[in-house]
Amino acid sequence: MKTTQVLCKILLLFVFTVGALQAQEIDFEQKKVLLVYGGWPGHTPEIFAKRMNSWLEAHNAKVIVAEDTSIYADETVMAEVDLIIQSITMSNIKMNEAKGLLNAVKNGVGIAGCHGGLGDSFRNNTEYQYMIGGQFVNHPGGQIAHSVQITQPDDPIVNGIADFSLTTEQYYMHVDPNVNVLATTTFSKEHDDWIENAVMPVAWKKTHGKGRVFYLSLGHSDEIFDVAPVWEILTRGIFWASKSKYEASEAWMHPVY
Ligand SMILES: [Zn+2]
């Protein structure tokens, strides 16, 4: 074989290896995950829960599925779970349920989720928003083509994932300045000209007490989870959040004004 042919093959192998999205090895090692769904049916929470339950069980998690927030008031369940995944858009939460949820996370239970199921739940509960680190306020233009930029490529949740484009809701959120932003999107002037060039977090991680919190703003409809980087970021974020009882907490203060 000529040297040029060998070099070409090496180059092609390199391009393929770098270009392909490498799914991260995930093993929950029998950790207990509470999967809670409900709320506004437009976000098809039951379909999300089925997809997530299958994936969790395939990756060695012990899953408890609940169809409403009443389980948050069950102190026994909340003390033994490692992670909560929630998909409840809007809806309401009772005081004792919110207290149970917030206390569990403060004590080291992780919480993770996406889109309105975590970032637009219980609009009248500011303590909940304080925990998540952001609240949906609009998606100008509805379903629109836009892109997502990875801002912390060294973080394991987004490592090896390239910037990507998709057509779905581009969430405009009110965001806690002390979240660790992993990916962003930039708004155009097409639908609301006063937000032109606004750079908005799409994925972040934070802590609330001892508990890890992971949020991804993508996830309007079931087919969005077939977009490889969307599912990869969500599942890696979920895995990260599942470990707050077992790993040291990470410290950050962002941004420095
Ligand atoms: Zn939506």
pLDDT at 4 over 70: no
Instruction: Report the separation in Å between the CA atom of 115 and the middle of ligand 1, taken as the mean of its atom positions.
Output: 7
pLDDT digit string, tens, across residues 89-132: 999 999 999 999 999 999 999 999 999 999 999 999 999 999 99
Average pLDDT over all residues of the chain: 93
Give the global pTM. 0.91
Q: CA 85, CA 87: separation in Å to the nearest integer? A: 7
Instruction: Report the separation in Å between the CA atom of 179 and the middle of ligand 1, taken as the mean of its atom positions.
Output: 22
Instruction: Report the separation in Å between the CA atom of 51 and the middle of ligand 1, taken as the mean of its atom positions.
Output: 17
Report pLDDT for 257: 66
pLDDT at 147 over 70: yes
Residues 6+ apart with CB under 8 A from 95: none
pLDDT digit string, tens, across residues 37-83: 999 999 999 999 999 999 999 999 999 999 999 999 999 999 999 99
pLDDT digit string, tens, across residues 201-221: 999 999 999 999 999 999 999
Instruction: Report the separation in Å between the CA atom of 220 and the middle of ligand 1, taken as the mean of its atom positions.
Output: 4
Report pLDDT for 18: 41
Instruction: Report the separation in Å between the CA atom of 219 and the middle of ligand 1, taken as the mean of its atom positions.
Output: 7
**CB burial of residue 159 (10 Å; 0-12, 13-18, 19+):** middle
Under CATH, which architecture does the 24-134+205-241 domain have? 3-Layer(aba) Sandwich (3.40)
- Classified as helix, coil or strand, 138 is strand
- Token pair of 175, please? 């965001």
Q: Give ∠ CA 149-212-107 in degrees, rounded to 5.
A: 165
pLDDT digit string, tens, across residues 8-37: 444 444 444 444 677 789 999 999 999 999
In the structure, ligand 1 is a single-atom ion and the residues with CB under 5 Å from it are 169, 220
Alpha helices in the chain (DSSP H): 3-19, 45-58, 75-80, 95-106, 115-119, 126-132, 228-241
**CB burial of residue 191 (10 Å; 0-12, 13-18, 19+):** middle
When pLDDT is cut at 50, 70 and 90, the band that residue 255 belongs to is confident
Instruction: Report the separation in Å between the CA atom of 117 and the middle of ligand 1, taken as the mean of its atom positions.
Output: 9
Q: CA 161, CA 177: separation in Å to the nearest integer? A: 24
Side chain identity, residue 3: T
Report pLDDT for 252: 79
Instruction: Report the separation in Å between the CA atom of 75 and the middle of ligand 1, taken as the mean of its atom positions.
Output: 31
| CA distances (Å), origin 18, targets 138, 149, 152, 222, 255 | 36, 17, 17, 28, 31
What is the DSSP-derived secondary structure letter of residue 82?
Answer: S
Report pLDDT for 167: 98
pLDDT at 6 over 80: no
Report pLDDT for 256: 65
